[in-house]
Amino acid sequence: MNEKIKEIKKRCIKLILLGDKEVGKTSIVNSYLGLEYCEKPLPTLGIDNFIKKYNYIGSSNQRTFTVKIYDSSGDPRFRSIALTSLRICDGIILVYSNDNKESYENIENIWIKTIEEFIDINQKKLILISNKNDSLVENNIINDKEGEELAKKYNMPFFSCSAKMNVNIEEAFNEILKNVCEYCLENEGIKIVQNISLEKKRKKGNYIKQGCFPSPIIAFANMGQAFADAYAEDLEKKKQKKCQIQ
């Protein structure tokens, strides 16, 4: 019992950024991490991940969580990798650029539709970010009102941001992290009960053998989760190794 509680307290919160290429997902992550802004960052290949601590302070609870942020590529060639990671993520940050109408339309036409095919969207916390708010007014094809209406349609918070000027970036991350943390804390007891119940069923022989899955679909889904996480971890190790060499 104590081991189960300890495991949940150390749980890592995972967020993923989704959106078309060149909408500024990498710049948003860099801005949140306090890294220097790059006018033309290298395109993300597959998926990158970053780790940061987050201190949650609630009315009756205070907790420090480890947060893993997945920065996914908007290139269609790598979309399957990003979408496979959805199942292991607690929160989804959808991003479009307010000077790119197609990126805005694709939030609903591509990203949300595809998300709904992979997971139950109601089981995840989502926010919508309109990036590049630093652009000239004449370049802003999509106004904030349109973004707010789209966000309201899917019951998610909306943030008009600028990764370049670091406007509303921290506020956006704080919002989704607060929502995810509250959900995790509210459901801790339920998760513990489920774990205990599962162990009892295994002992009684009323459950499929440990290490097996009820169906091939669930098996492939879990394989996809493992692949996505292992791939992201491998990229992180390579980055750390590169930094040590430099």
Task: Return the structure tokens found at 234.
Answer: 């491998």
Judged on CB neighbours under 10 Å (0-12, 13-18, 19+), 18 is: buried
Q: Which string of DSSP letters, residue by residue, matches 206-225?
A: -SPPTT--SSHHHHHHHHHH
CA distances from 132 to 27, 243, 245 (A): 10, 29, 34
Q: What is the predicted pLDDT for the residue at 122?
A: 84
Helices (H) and strands (E) in the chain, counts: 9, 6
CA distances from 152 to 116, 127, 146 (A): 17, 10, 10
Percent pLDDT > 90 in the chain is 43
Give the residue with greater pLDDT, 186 vs 243: 186
- Report yes or no: 68 and 77 within 8 Å, Cβ to Cβ: no
**pLDDT tens digits for range 224-243:** 555 555 556 556 655 665 55
CA distances from 53 to 12, 14, 32, 191 (A): 10, 12, 12, 23
Residue range 167-189: mean pLDDT, rounded: 88
Residue 129 above 80 pLDDT? yes
Give the residue with greater pLDDT, 9 vs 93: 93
Residue 167 above 80 pLDDT? yes
Residue range 165-174: mean pLDDT, rounded: 95
Give the residue with greater pLDDT, 36 vs 215: 36
Residue range 26-51: mean pLDDT, rounded: 87
Residue range 132-143: mean pLDDT, rounded: 74
Identify the weakest region by mean pLDDT among 92-101, 216-225, 228-237.
216-225
Residue range 139-161: mean pLDDT, rounded: 92
Q: Which residues pair with 67 in a beta bridge?
A: 13, 52
Q: What is the predicted pLDDT for the residue at 135?
A: 63
Instruction: Tell whether pTM > 0.85.
Output: no
